[in-house]
Homo-oligomer: A and B are copies of this chain.
């Protein structure tokens, strides 16, 4: 099916394509009589502007690539909400690309982004990603990029992360204030930067209280939490739990429920990125990392970079934004 184009309209009305183009966007140069004619014809022949062609001509795709390590229920929905609220308002769209926790896939997705000429990239790294060499190409091609949430230490790209140190400390304080004496702390994948920073600050805080017995376990998934707890909960004396994320909390909650250990005088404290936790148990205490807020912030930063890039202004410093 042939779609009506500006050229079609021009031929029908015996005027030039440039006039039609200008009339359609209400350019002041064009007389109102011509504008009227053009608009009528456009209406009649069901003309639909081809943004694809416009963007091609303007050398800007108006598309952002969003690369995430995996699509989870804990973080992705809130981050997507944040990102789209910012991008849609500005006429941008975004591809969502999941690395499925594979470094190779992450590299492929970056290729994809470059090939399809995205205007910018928002990326959260996989567990397997140890450096950002594969991101350097973005710099070469002058494609603005922001790393968010899961990152490695680097000083090339702006990054947006939660203030893990502060949050883990606050959680430790909550347990301490509550008078817990025997604490089980549940962390995620030991190799993640995000785990390490939470771990270190949590432990540091605890060190000031040598009377408190602290046990630490690492679990790569909620299921693994359940497995490990099936044994550990035999220890009745645990009076405080720390979960470093929604996912670990999920496993903990499940195990507690199973043994009817909820709603007792145990204290459960967790860092949370999502909206889910408020439905688990009202006695749980959260330190909230708002994924929505992070999405909004990261997207805004990216748009700023894109505008700077366009105006020729070079970025001067690499910033780590802590939320």
- A residues near B (Cβ < 8 Å) are 1, 3, 46, 48-53, 55-56, 61, 71-74, 76-78, 80-81, 84, 88, 93-98, 112, 114-117, 140-142, 222, 226, 250-251, 253-254, 257-258, 260, 262-263, 274-276, 278-282
Contact = CB atoms under 8 A, between A and B. Distances in A.
B276 A115 contact: no
Contacts of A52: 55-56, 61, 116-117
Contacts of A97: 84, 88, 93
Contacts of A115: 48-51
Closest 9 A-B residue pairs measured CB to CB? A254-B279, A52-B117, A93-B95, A51-B115, A73-B73, A250-B279, A73-B77, A51-B116, A56-B56
A96 B141 CA distance: 26
Contact of A73 (B50, B51, B222, B276): B276
A46 to B, nearest CB: 7
Given A46-B140, A73-B274, A73-B275, 19 more contacts: A52-B55, A52-B56, A52-B61, A52-B116, A73-B73, A73-B74, A84-B97, A88-B97, A94-B95, A94-B96, A250-B279, A251-B279, A253-B280, A254-B280, A254-B282, A257-B257, A258-B281, A258-B282, A276-B276
A77 B84 contact: no
A309 to B, nearest CB: 9
20 contacts: A46-B140, A49-B115, A50-B117, A51-B115, A52-B61, A56-B56, A72-B77, A73-B275, A73-B276, A76-B76, A76-B77, A80-B98, A84-B97, A84-B98, A94-B96, A95-B95, A226-B279, A254-B279, A257-B257, A260-B262
A265 to B, nearest CB: 13
A71 B94 CA distance: 15
B141 A116 contact: no
Contacts of A117: 50-52
A277 to B, nearest CB: 10
